[in-house]
Amino acid sequence: MSEPLILITNDDGITARGLNALAEAMKNIGRVEIVAPDSERSATGHAITLTDPLRVEKVYRNGELFGHAVSGTPADSVKVAVKAILDRPPDLVVSGINLGPNTGVNVIYSGTVSAATEAAIMGIKAIAVSLGTFVNPDYTAAARYATWLAEKALSHPFPPGVVLNLNVPPIPESEIRGVKLTRQGQAGYEEVLEKREDLRGKTYYWLGGELLISRDGEDCDSRTLDSGYVSITPLQFDMTSYPALTELKRWGLESGDREPMENR
C-alpha cells in the first residue's frame, strides 16, 4: 500500500493543541492533511450548515501551510475536505484529540464524534479521539494510542458505517492499565440550569452539569476510562432500537392497505 492519506479534524477548532498533537503523531504513519472548524464547535452534535455559506481559509504556521479552516461544524469540515480540498478520498479520518472525554450520553452531543460519523457515512474509516480531562491536558499518551489504533484500522478490513471512539485516561502512559473494547454508557447528566439576571435585570440561563457514570456497567466506556484503561467503542449511525421494535409489535400499531385509522 502506498502512503496512507490521513485527514485530521476536530471540534475544538484548528488552533487547538489537541489537534496539533494528533497531526504531529500521525505524520509517523502517513500523509497528513488538516481541515477543521475555524473556531470551537463543542457540543454541536451532528450539525451541518445548510442556511449559511461555508468559507475555507488556508492557515499558515512558520510560513508553511498548516491546514484549512472551515467556517462550519466538524461534520461540515469533513464534507468540505473530501468534496473540495483533498485530491483523493482519505484512507482514514481521525478527529480530535478532544479536550474532555466523549463517553456515555456525551457521545450524542459530541462534535468530535460527529466528524468521524460523517466520514463513516461517506464510507471512510474513522476514529474519534478524546482525552479524559478538561484541565492541564497532556496529549502525549492519547496521540500515541491514536497512532497505534490508526495503524490497526488501516491494516484491517473495517466494519462499514462504524466509528471507533477512542478515549484515553489523563494519566502518564506508563500508568495506563491496558485497553478495553467497551459499549457506550447510558448514564445521564446531573444537570444544572442556572438562572441569572443580566445588567438590565433580564433573566437568562446557563446550562451545565456533570456526567453520572456510577449507573453504567463495568463494560461501559465511562467506567473503563475512569479505572485507568483506554476505551475503544465501535459506534454506528443506525439508531434503530431493535429490542423496542419487537416490543412495539405488541402495541398493534401496524395496519394494511387503507384500513382506516379508527379500526386500528
> In the complex with a copy of itself, which residue's Cβ is closer, 62 or 156?
156
Extract the C-alpha cell encoding 153.
484500522
**Per CB under 8 A, 29 contacts a copy of itself:** no
Residue with cell 476505551: 231
> In the complex with a copy of itself, which residue's Cβ is closer, 23 or 153?
153
CB of 84 to a copy of itself, least distance (A): 6
Dist. CA 241–CA 46, nearest whole Å: 19
Q: Can you tell me which of 17, 27, 43, 172 binds a copy of itself, judged by CB under 8 A?
A: 43
**Per CB under 8 A, 248 contacts a copy of itself:** yes
CB of 62 to a copy of itself, least distance (A): 25
Pick the piece of the chain touching a copy of itself (CB under 8 A) from 1-9, 17-25, 129-137, 204-212.
204-212
48-53: long-range pairs with CB below 8 Å, 24+: 48/72, 48/73, 48/75, 48/76, 48/79, 49/73, 49/76
C-alpha dist (Å) from residue 168 to 10, 12, 90, 154, 156 = 16, 17, 24, 20, 22
**Per CB under 8 A, 135 contacts a copy of itself:** no
Q: Do 120 and 237 form a contact (C-beta atoms < 8 A)?
A: yes
Looking at residue 15, its amino acid is T
Q: Do 65 and 58 form a contact (C-beta atoms < 8 A)?
A: yes
Q: Can you tell me which of 24, 29, 45, 171 binds a copy of itself, judged by CB under 8 A?
A: 45
**Per CB under 8 A, 173 contacts a copy of itself:** yes
CB of 110 to a copy of itself, least distance (A): 9
